[in-house]
Structure 1
């Protein structure tokens, strides 16, 4: 079984993205929804170990930036950022960070 964590950093403002809504889905559908804390993390998102398989994390970035007072076009360039990733058998801990601005994002498998 594998474990999962995430961390969202607001690269426009140079700070953790506090108050960003996100959702986790797996092979059998939606697993959990949550909101990042003041450190940009969502420690209670995953209820326990996850089986190997395909997963997605959806980050509601346009809502976050609007709430932060950023004027976005309609429609926004980035609305919901979806990261689709796989968790292999015996993969251990998967940390999936998101570095995001209203116009770009990046991710990687962290530690």
Structure 2
């Protein structure tokens, strides 16, 4: 950016300005550089996604991917449990028989 770049006066809520100032400080930028960077990033996102609500679409797609991941993880855990039980069925039967014998014993008084 240079002094020849056009200036733009805008009004923004005080809370948003404070947040931007804090982020600019964290990123070691001026407030102007932080705002320009954020505007460039959202413009690039819009170009990649092909719409003016690029960030919103990215967020929705991210949430969808998270849901898909959770569903696949649950399915894998179910499938793994079935595989484990199948490969250990003899041991499981033995344990069940022992438990059944223990539970069928008459109580001593």
Q: Same fold (TM over 0.5)?
A: no
Query: Higher helix fraction: Structure 1 or Structure 2?
Result: 2
Query: Higher strand fraction: Structure 1 or Structure 2?
Result: 1
**Greater relative CO, 1 or 2 (CA 8 Å, sep 6+):** 1
Structure 2 length-normalised TM: 0.18
Structure 1 length-normalised TM: 0.17
- Asked which structure has the greater CA Rg, the reply is 2
